[in-house]
Amino acid sequence: MVEHSAPALDIVFQALTDATRRAMLRHLAGGDRNIGELAAPFDMSLAAASKHVKVLERAGLVRRVVQGRTHICRLEPGPLAAADEWLRFYEQFWNRRLDALDALLKAEDAAVGESPAGGNP
C-alpha cells in the first residue's frame, strides 16, 4: 500500500464527514460554481456556505478564485484520489476475506450434498 501523509488524509476525511460538503463537492463535479450556487440547494446564507467551502479548501478539495465580488469554486480531485487509494487497500482486504468465506461455504455445501443422509447433518 502506498503511504500517504496521515494528517492530509485526516483533513480530507474530516471534510467529507459533513453531508453538505459532500453535496457541494458533487455539485462542483459538474463544473465551477459560485458560493451562491453552492448555497442555494441548502437554503443557507452565503457566510455559512463560505465556511463549508473554507473547510473544503483546507483539505485541498476545492480551489476558490475571487473575480471581483464573486467567489468561484473549482473541484480539486487530487485529495479524493489519495483517499480513494487508501480505501482501496481495505476494499482488497475485504474482497479477499469474502472470497475465502465464499469458498468455505461452497465447500461446505458440496460436502453436505455428498452426505448419505441426503444433505441433512
pLDDT tens across 32-86, in order? 999 999 999 998 999 999 999 999 999 999 999 999 999 999 999 999 998 988 8
Which DSSP symbol is given to 43?
Answer: T
Mean pLDDT of 23-35: 97
Q: Report the predicted TM-score, pTM, of the whole model to 2 decimal places.
A: 0.71
Average pLDDT for residues 96-101, to the nearest whole number? 80
- Element at 74 (helix H, strand E): strand 70-75
pLDDT, position 1? 43
Provide the edge-to-edge strand list for the sheet that holds 33-34.
33-34, 70-75, 62-67
Task: Say what the pLDDT of residue 107 is.
Answer: 84
> What structural domains and CATH numbers belong to the chain?
6-76 (1.10.10.10)
Per-residue b/e over 61-76, b at no fewer than 16 CB within 10 Å? bbeeeeeeeebebebb
Could you tell me which residue, 83 or 24, shows the higher pLDDT? 24
Whole-number Å distance between alpha carbons of 2 and 33? 33
pLDDT at residue 98 in the model: 83
Q: How far apart are CA 96 and CA 87, in angstroms?
A: 14
Residue-averaged pLDDT of the chain: 88
pLDDT at 5 over 80: no
